[in-house]
Amino acid sequence: MAKDPTSIVPFYQPPQAEPVRSGSVSDFVLNEIARRIVDGVYKPGQRIVEAEVTRDLGVSRSSVREAFRRLETNRFVRIEPNRGAMVATPRREDIVAQFRIREVISGLGARAAAERVQEPGNREIMLGLLDDIEAQRKADDPRNHRAENGRFHRAINNMSGIPDVGELLDQYNYPILHTIYFRDLSHANWLRNLSDHVDIARAVLHGDPVAAEHFARQHMHRMVDIAIEIAERLLEEARNR
């Protein structure tokens, strides 16, 4: 099962002179490699040499190999026979295909949430989400948007009553694009996200499954172009280095 990308890189961490160890050795290695990929230390298509990581981080080869396997599951790297781990380079067609699936799943989740809005406590949850969005707008500070975005979508997914809908969405995600999107989030895209969330929440609150599905799918569809732009920028930066 794919892990929530926030458990891989909780938020963009600026480069540090010395990596900070926390949790298990495997978690430490995984987070450090993921951070280096996001920071551009490891470039798209670059081979990550197991022996160098072992030496740099002072860990065993088995810990590095386990981290590589987990990073491959989460699409940060791909493992090639006789070459080892390579930094993943998502292709346009792969991104489009993945987001089409996410669009359908997200739409079904929002539709189901709207159908269940009259169940005890659900209207209050939606009203709370709308209050949170308004508070974010007034604060005019997008720095916590990744956490707020996660809370919003978890609330919709939980209300849907569809088992494991969040895990299904994670299986069709590129965490590296997701992480960089929130790291470099522009003010305009932040406001657009908040507006999308308001549309979804209001449709759910009004018990309108058709509108809820429409706005959820529209929101996910809009993310395709952003994801492609990030992927192409990563490749361009790699070529220019």
DSSP-derived pairing of the beta strands 77-80 and 84-87: antiparallel
pLDDT value at 188 more than 70: yes
Per-residue pLDDT reduced to its tens digit, 105-164: 999 999 999 999 999 999 999 999 999 999 999 999 898 888 899 999 999 999 999 988
Residue 65 Cα to chain centre, angstroms: 23
- What ranges in the chain are assigned the alpha helix state H? 25-39, 50-57, 61-73, 92-115, 122-139, 145-160, 165-171, 175-183, 187-205, 209-240
- At residue 4, φ and ψ (nearest 5 deg) are -60, 125
Residue corresponding to tokens 């707020």: 148
pLDDT value at 4 more than 50: no
Per-residue pLDDT reduced to its tens digit, 132-144: 999 999 999 898 8
Question: What's this model's pTM, rounded to 2 decimal places?
Answer: 0.76
Residue 185, C-beta contacts closer than 8 angstroms, at least 6 positions apart: 142, 145, 146
| Domains along the chain with CATH numbers | 5-87 (1.10.10.10), 92-240 (1.20.120.530)
Task: Supply the pLDDT for residue 164.
Answer: 84
List Cα–Cα distances, 2 to 6, 72, 95, in angstroms: 11, 10, 17
Q: What average pLDDT does the segment 77-102 reach?
A: 87
Q: Which residue has the higher pLDDT, 172 or 32?
A: 32
**Eight-state DSSP code of residue 54:** H
pLDDT value at 92 more than 50: yes
